[in-house]
Amino acid sequence: MTDSCCANKEQDLKALASKQAMVLWVVLVINFVMFLAEFLFGWISDSTALIGDSIDMLGDAFTYGSSLYVVNRKLSAKILASRFKAYLMIVLGLIVFVRAIYRFLYQVIPEIEIMGIVGVVALLANLICLALLTRHKSDDINFASVWICSRNDIIANTSVLVAVFLVYQFEYSWPDIIVGLGITILFLRAAFGVLRDGNKLKA
């Protein structure tokens, strides 16, 4: 009886890992495609917010890739992956911060039509990713950390759309710059939260 239960449990774990991997591949592809689109149109439209959000998308693509690597591995490997993702988020946050300072010094009003269209598409893409990841967010620390990243993406996308409205209203670039700085703060807070959770599990 015990052997049968163990065998069934092993099969359940393998099925769970297979489902996790499939979800991660889907959200990885979505995020990488959106990184290319947001970076390109962010550059064309001179939008700090879109470029910052595109870097967020690229960071998520790397995050999901590292999560695929550990989906069948032990807790220690998952903690290591969560730390890698946290450090990556910190680096990307600093990149956005530098970009925001640059745009502040050389102010150009972004093209709000492009910002608005791409911002809506990015929001829809991240809502799909969040819906897929929510089903597995309680599975382990690996999925908990990627779910946090996806949740933060929704906040960042909404901020981009708010920036579009404010730039349109005031015809000034400061809302776009502020959103870039806001995304930086979001990156850093989430990154340190993931590091803290990983340290608790290790202890």
The predicted structure's pLDDT at residue 166: 92
Average the pLDDT over each of 7-16, 44-53, 116-125 and give the range with the smallest value.
7-16
pLDDT single digits (tens) 167-193: 888 888 888 888 878 777 776 777 777
Instruction: Give the model's confidence band at 155: pLDDT under 50 very low, under 70 low, under 90 confident, else very high.
Output: confident
The identity of residue 151, as a single letter, is R
Domain that holds residue 29: 21-202
The predicted structure's pLDDT at residue 67: 65
* Domain assignment of residue 88, yes or no: yes
- 167-198: b (≥16 Cβ within 10 Å) or e: beeeeebebbbbbbbbbbebbbebbeebbebb
pLDDT tops 90 at residue 117:
yes
* Domain assignment of residue 15, yes or no: no
Question: What average pLDDT does this structure show over 98-114?
Answer: 80
* Domain assignment of residue 2, yes or no: no
* Domain assignment of residue 6, yes or no: no
The predicted structure's pLDDT at residue 9: 32
Q: In this structure, what DSSP letter does residue 106 have?
A: S
* Domain assignment of residue 159, yes or no: yes
* Domain assignment of residue 11, yes or no: no
Q: What is the mean pLDDT of the chain?
A: 76
Place of tokens 């670039």: 173
The predicted structure's pLDDT at residue 174: 85
Instruction: Name the residue among 184, 96, 200, 95 with its Cα closest to residue 145.
Output: 200
The predicted structure's pLDDT at residue 15: 46
Q: Which H or E run includes 111? A: none
Number of domains in the chain: 1
* Domain assignment of residue 44, yes or no: yes
Kindly compute the dihedral angle of the four CA atoms of residues 12, 15, 21, 23, in this order, to the nearest 10 degrees.
-100
* Domain assignment of residue 3, yes or no: no
The predicted structure's pLDDT at residue 18: 66
CATH code: domain of residue 148: 1.20.1510.10
pLDDT single digits (tens) 57-87: 877 787 777 767 665 666 666 677 777 777 8
